[in-house]
Amino acid sequence: MNKAKKKWSFTSYCYLIPSMLVFIVFLFYPFAKTIYLSLFKTNKMGQAKIFYGIGNYKDLLSSPSFWNSMKVTLIFALIVVVGSMLLGLVTAVLCNKAFPGIRFFSTAYALPMAIASSSAAMIFEMMLHPAVGIVNKLLGLNINWLNDPNTALYCVAILTAWLNSGINFLYFSAGLGNIDDSIYERASVDGASGIQQFFNLTLPGLSPIMFYTLVVNIIQAFQSFGQIKILTEGGPNESTNVIVYSIYRDAFFNYKFGSASAQSVILFIIIMLITMVMFRIEKKGVKY
């Protein structure tokens, strides 16, 4: 009996080998190689040549450009996370009740998740064109939105928030579907207004899915790249030079693979710490 159990256990582990190989090749090895390269100065082919220790990290921490990219990334992530979650929540609540044309509106609100960021960025670029763009035409302005350091970051962040709102709409719609309608009926009988029902019933009922959505959106915001590459390329004056684009620029333009790897490690640590803190807060909230 024990032999059969051991044989079954060994066989079950064998089924994990293909997936583990995929993880090793595409996740664990690149991660280990990134940490390794962050300790070296490299040539233009990305090969480690001179051991530099923590020198790359010291250079980054003393670089004004790196700290600017961190500041830009935090502002960008804040706008994207708040904007995408708010937009997804509002649209989900609007489509929570049955009314004529609800399928059309549900499809329209979920559509951003099906649009490639590069395609959306190209359309957005035409809309914000200073001469023929529809935004300036409607507002009666003459602003070069994407070439102005005061507006470029906000434009890219708004586009990213809209792109992320589609999946948030689906998350919140699923969460709203799990809330029992009877509690709204009882609240209405007791005289609760729509706003009171939203804050006292809807938001608490969505708290689990809202926490998950918040974590996912933070990670996505820190990893946004395509729309920044197409719209601004980190400019003007590094006003949209988020850390992901800074990694790309150092690696494939300046051929500083060691510095780019060090930035990647720092980005990983930041995302990991934020996620751990959020899970700790969520657990304390549950205990409370």
Beta-ladder partners of 48:
42
Domains, the chain, ordered by start: 2-37 (no CATH), 55-287 (1.10.3720.10)
**Residue 172 and residue 41: Cα distance in Å, rounded?**
46
Joined tokens for residue 188 = 């209405």
Distance from C-alpha of 63 to C-alpha of 68, rounded to nearest angstrom: 9
* pLDDT tens per residue across span 201-247: 888 888 889 888 999 999 999 989 989 999 999 888 899 999 999 99
- Give yes or no for a contact between 227 and 159, defined as CB atoms under 8 angstroms apart: yes
CB atoms within 10 A of CB 104: 9
pLDDT at residue 200, as a whole number: 87
Tokens of 7: 């044989």
Nearest-angstrom CA–CA distance, 35 and 264: 9
Q: Kindly report whether the global pTM for this prediction surpasses the value 0.85.
A: yes
Asked whether 224 and 160 are in contact (CB, 8 A), the reply is: yes
Position 287 scores a pLDDT of 44
Q: Tell me the Cα Rg of the chain.
A: 24
Q: 169 and 109 in contact (C-beta within 8 Å)?
A: yes
Cβ(8)–Cβ(17) under 8 Å? no
Give the per-residue pLDDT at 285.
61
With contact defined as beta carbons under 8 Å apart, do 50 and 273 qualify?
no
Residues of the chain with pLDDT under 50: 1, 286-288
The torsion of the CA quartet 269, 275, 281, 284, rounded to 10 degrees, works out to -100
d(Cα 273, Cα 287) in Å, to the nearest integer?
A: 21
> What does 108-144 look like in DSSP terms, one character per residue?
HHHGGGGS-HHHHHHHHHHHT-TTT-HHHHHHT----
On average, the pLDDT of the chain sits at: 88
